[in-house]
A and B are shown apart, each in its own frame.
Chain A
Amino acid sequence: MPRKTMIEAIRDAMDIMMERDDNVVVFGEDVGFFGGVFRCTQGLQAKYGKTRCFDAPISEAGIVGAAIGMAAYGLKPCIEIQFADYVYPAYDQIVSEAARLRYRSNGDFTCPIVVRMPVGGGIFGGQTHSQSPEALFTHVSGLKVVVPSNPHDAKGLLISAIEDPDPVIFLEPKRLYNGPFDGHYDRPVTPWSKHDLGEVPDGHYTVPLGKAIKRREGSKLTILAYGTMVYVAEAAAEEHGIDAEIIDLRTLLPLDLETIVESVSKTGRCVVVHEATLTSGFGAELAALVQEHCFYKLEAPVVRVTGWDTPYPHAQEWDYFPGPVRLGRALVETLEG
């Protein structure tokens, strides 16, 4: 099976959907002629023409707002916000409009859009190229929120997102674009061509929204992770010889609660890990759900390992990023506690 980077897989998903459905349009800042600052839309304009894939003015509210209008007409816009850190000018359009259009019009108008945006740190991106704002979207009724962790899922999830009848926030961990990253910043990075999850089938396939997947079977402890943290979790469990079950959530909203409850009920322990800041982060929702549904099975408090409650710093990247050392310590404590 061919191996692809996450960038190639994402591009492949858009290519396939543009081929299959004339109503799929792709636009955003620099996504047209140039093919995107991360090359995710390379070649799409040449193949499908300027009215299917085009450059947009630097106006996030304009990009999302226009996409909502297009969706109301009947198109399926798959748009790009260059960095998740820059989505805030579009927040009103996403929260007040895209998320609520079906509800407030009782289905008279709908909003099948996908808003792609690179997220996450670990790349010396500083304050405005590293953020993980997923909790700002999981708090919004009417949105779906997806975070793939590998090329195979990225393609299948993006196809599902484009086919979905409701607005999907599609967060792409840019640290994973070219290869998996376990937080060991001092070691050489493996490209996706050397990793099994870089195997991406040709053609159309879907990975369903709302379904988590077990990345590692274990019996002593459950780690709930998504995006880059899946690999940090694998490394931490491996290095400490912990029999941990790692669940890659893949979709944060709607959440696959069943898989989570099944795992934590079995292991009795749970560590939640994400890059985003701690307070009111998505981990708080996960911890609350676990205690609500697994209280009598829990043998230790649910622990969260996350970014600190600070803006994402530059020089202190590796003191901020929740790497395998910090996570490993939490795993050992949770297991012994």
Chain B
Amino acid sequence: MSDDGSPGEFGPLSLHVPEPAVRPGGAPDFSNVELDEAGAIRRPEVDANPEDIRDLAFSIIRVLNRDGAAVGPWAGLLTDDQLIEGLRHMMTLRTFDARMQIAQRQGKTSFYMQHLGEEAVSCAFRKALAPGDMNFPTYRQAGLLIADDYPMVEMMCQIYSNERDPLKGRQLPIMYSSKEHGFFSISGNLATQYIQAVGWAMASAIKHDTKIAAGWIGDGSTAESDFHASLVFASTYKAPIVLNIVNNQWAISTFQGIARGGSGTFAARGLGFGIPALRVDGNDYLAVFAVAKWAIERARRNLGPTLIEYVTYRAGAHSTSDDPSAYRPKTESDAWPLGDPVIRLKNHLIGRGVWSDDRHKQTEAEILDTVVAAQKEAESFGTLHAGGKPSARDMFEGVYEEMPPHLRRQRQQAGV
């Protein structure tokens, strides 16, 4: 400003606030999403120098092409049976989601969050891990449990906060915990588990163990300071960890550009920390598995951390408390160029000659039966407002290993 208050040599500043390409009422537009052809991206050796593979943070590794064929250097890792199993896991998660979504609408639980469109990410990643490895998931990776055959009834009992809830009714629905299944206790506070995952991996290295950790975070939560701390620690101590970013384009109502800012990709965030970063088609089960396996092997060989950005789309609402039509076009998920992970794997298997529309329908029906049966069993132990529920006494347990005197007094006051 000059002395008289008028702009001088420089014009007035203005604040840049990024906007998504289109809002409700508009036609979906993903022309800004740059896609690489399936098979086009090279597969480096796992001990590649991070400096030599910087380009992988700016491309998208894909295996399944438009015709549903598996092509390129990342293909060929899974047998027919493994792929059919993967398809089943994704279909199971989708059916589970749909049933629980309805259960929430029926008032059987207070809250639910679906994975619609993101099933490949957690289902395929789980199969690349070994027993003993530990995930530090967010609230949108239940595929890690499904693909590890965690009992569905227990998941539902947690969602219903009933008398069989493994977490005794203390946690909001879907905040599962299972050490046995390598699934760290979910917290409502975003990004906190990312740095904890790094600590867990450091511990495994300190003890000369062979287990590795996987951290999970969404695109929006990468803006949390814990994300930054995680990358610093993982880089400094070369922790045996896979740092997963699930970029589903949306953080509730906020499009990914608000968290990403001017950075080309989320994967590129890793490069500044010297962490090799891969970007992968998150709706391509085969690509997710291949990239996960690569990063897990790097970690297991003590070569340090890897960052993976899964490019996908949150097809459903953020949660049962959310209405996406208020902030994005209703048909946007149909326009998503990476399609639907279930349909893509289905078509691939049909193309391989090991699957058919009939088998798919039949499997769908079987899965529905299984999920409905599990739901019936879970509901026999109660739902949030009806039937069996955890004891009020349980509320006071587990704050500490041993209940201190003040909590004992309060429990007596509560009359439990």
* Interface residue ranges, A against B (CB under 8 Å): 25, 51-52, 56-57, 59, 61-62, 65-75, 77, 89, 92-93, 96-97, 100-110, 141-142, 144, 165-166, 210, 254-255, 257-258
Contacts and interface: CB of A to CB of B under 8 A. Distances in A.
Nearest to A107: B398
B247 interface: no
Most buried by B among A89, A96, A105, A166: A105
B405 A66 contact: no
Contact of A104 (B175, B178, B225): B175
Contacts of B168: 106
Interface string B393-416: 000001111001110000000000
B201 A69 contact: yes
A257 B406 contact: yes
A208 to B, nearest CB: 12
B199 interface: yes
Shortest beta-carbon contacts, A-B, top 7: A69-B199, A65-B195, A66-B199, A62-B229, A254-B404, A69-B196, A73-B203
A74 B209 CA distance: 12
Contacts, number: 145
Given A65-B229, A142-B399, A257-B406, A97 B199 contact: no
Given A66-B233, A69-B195, A108-B178, A61 B225 contact: yes
Given A72-B184, A141-B399, A92 B405 contact: no
B136 interface: yes
A195 to B, nearest CB: 31
A103 B198 contact: no
B192 to A, nearest CB: 5
A110 B185 CA distance: 10
A253 B194 CA distance: 29
B226 A65 contact: yes
A43 B67 CA distance: 64
B399 A69 contact: no
B189 A96 contact: yes
B242 interface: no
Nearest to A59: B229
A68 B175 CA distance: 18
A5 B305 CA distance: 42
Contacts of A67: 199
Nearest to A49: B206
Contact of B400 (A75, A92, A102): A102
B345 interface: no
Given A105-B185, A254-B404, A65 B192 contact: yes
